[in-house]
């Protein structure tokens, strides 16, 4: 039943945006390249987030006991699907939003017609953040990053443990709903921070942190309350055991390539 409802959700979103998705790909190919380190946050990604809700890359119970199956199911089929539905409604209603990458829309909210700016910020942001969040976790996750990202983290924070403490503090200290992030900032350095609600670091001029997201943690209560109740710190601590560093490493490689032109 769980698989069925997920399949229906995915089938609907795929069918609805078959055309829009093709346009988005064309838009990506036509997007102007922006060179230079200072423009890192604006460089078009080689792995753009789809406008559709892609299937969850694992079963609802795959991250047990860190993330319980019920939380995962509600989070994916209700919360994330809700953001996608509202985003799609805006895309249907406003032609000027079609054929553009989600990263472009979120990075240039001022270019979104005012009547659609808030829905793009909240629901476009919500879709983007969650689409990546599922990929930032894996049943085979945990451990520490390797390669260039692992080295960059050690350079910036001295050790992986110090990095974890700083990231966990950012997640714990975000008041209310929001996200903790590791980004490659516009100066080409790794940076930790947090954003409110469904804001993300692509939203220049809007969010509390600017850069290309490499890793993000959802600290909305809907992400953990069923299992951890008010103990956000326990959720954050446990989450490290399911972090998919392969995804973060791939995003870092992509972002540094884009920053170097």
Q: Given the complex with Fe ion, which of 223 and 243 has the nearer CB atom?
A: 223
* Smallest distance from Fe ion to CB 71, Å: 10
* Smallest distance from Fe ion to CB 112, Å: 22
Q: Spell out the residues 6+ positions from residue 153 whose beta carbon is closer than 8 angstroms to its own.
A: 145, 160, 163, 190
Separation CA 5–CA 234 (nearest Å): 31
* Smallest distance from Fe ion to CB 49, Å: 15
* Smallest distance from Fe ion to CB 206, Å: 19
Q: Is 199 in the site for Fe ion (CB under 5 A)?
A: no
* Smallest distance from Fe ion to CB 160, Å: 26
Q: Given the complex with Fe ion, which of 129 and 185 has the nearer CB atom?
A: 129
**Contact by Cβ (8 Å): 109, 215:** no
* Smallest distance from Fe ion to CB 213, Å: 15
Q: Given the complex with Fe ion, which of 102 and 223 has the nearer CB atom?
A: 223
Nearest to 25 by CA among 94, 104, 92, 134: 104
* Smallest distance from Fe ion to CB 179, Å: 9
Binding mask 208-247 for Fe ion (x = CB under 5 A): ----------x-x--x------------------------
Separation CA 69–CA 240 (nearest Å): 18
Distance of CA 76 to the CA centre of its chain: 14
Q: How many residues make contact with Fe ion (CB under 5 A)? A: 3
Q: Given the complex with Fe ion, which of 20 and 223 has the nearer CB atom?
A: 223
Q: What are phi and psi of 58, to 5 degrees?
A: -160, 170
**Contact by Cβ (8 Å): 2, 73:** yes
Q: How far is CA 160 from CA 1, 40, 64, in A?
A: 41, 24, 25
Q: Given the complex with Fe ion, which of 220 and 235 has the nearer CB atom?
A: 220
Q: Given the complex with Fe ion, which of 80 and 88 has the nearer CB atom?
A: 80
Q: Given the complex with Fe ion, which of 167 and 224 has the nearer CB atom?
A: 224
Q: What are phi and psi of 218, to 5 degrees?
A: -75, 115
Q: What are phi and psi of 116, to 5 degrees?
A: -115, 0
List of residues contacting Fe ion (CB under 5 A): 218, 220, 223
């Amino acid at each position: 039943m769980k698989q069925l409802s997920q399949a229906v959700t995915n089938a609907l979103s795929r069918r609805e945006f078959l055309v829009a998705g093709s346009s988005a790909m064309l838009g990506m190919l036509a997007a102007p390249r922006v060179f230079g380190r200072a423009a890192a946050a604006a460089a078009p990604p080689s792995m753009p987030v789809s406008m559709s809700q892609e299937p969850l890359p694992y079963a609802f119970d795959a991250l047990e006991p860190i993330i319980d199956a019920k939380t995962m199911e509600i989070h994916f089929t209700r919360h994330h699907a809700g953001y996608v539905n509202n985003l799609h409604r805006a895309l249907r209603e406003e032609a000027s939003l079609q054929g553009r990458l989600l990263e472009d829309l979120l990075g240039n909210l001022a270019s979104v017609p005012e009547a659609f700016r808030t829905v793009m910020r909240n629901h476009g942001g919500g879709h983007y953040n969650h689409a990546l969040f599922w990929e930032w976790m894996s049943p085979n996750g945990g451990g520490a990053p390797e390669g260039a990202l692992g080295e960059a983290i050690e350079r910036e924070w001295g050790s992986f443990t110090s990095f974890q403490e700083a990231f966990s503090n950012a997640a714990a200290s975000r008041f209310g709903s929001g996200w903790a992030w590791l980004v490659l900032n516009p100066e080409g350095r790794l940076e930790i921070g947090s954003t409110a609600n469904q804001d993300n670091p692509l939203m220049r001029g809007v969010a509390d942190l600017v850069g290309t997201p490499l890793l993000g943690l959802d600290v909305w209560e809907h992400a953990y309350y069923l299992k951890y109740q008010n103990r956000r710190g326990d959720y954050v601590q446990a989450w490290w055991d399911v972090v998919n560093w392969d995804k973060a490493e791939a995003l870092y490689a992509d972002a540094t390539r884009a920053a170097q032109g």
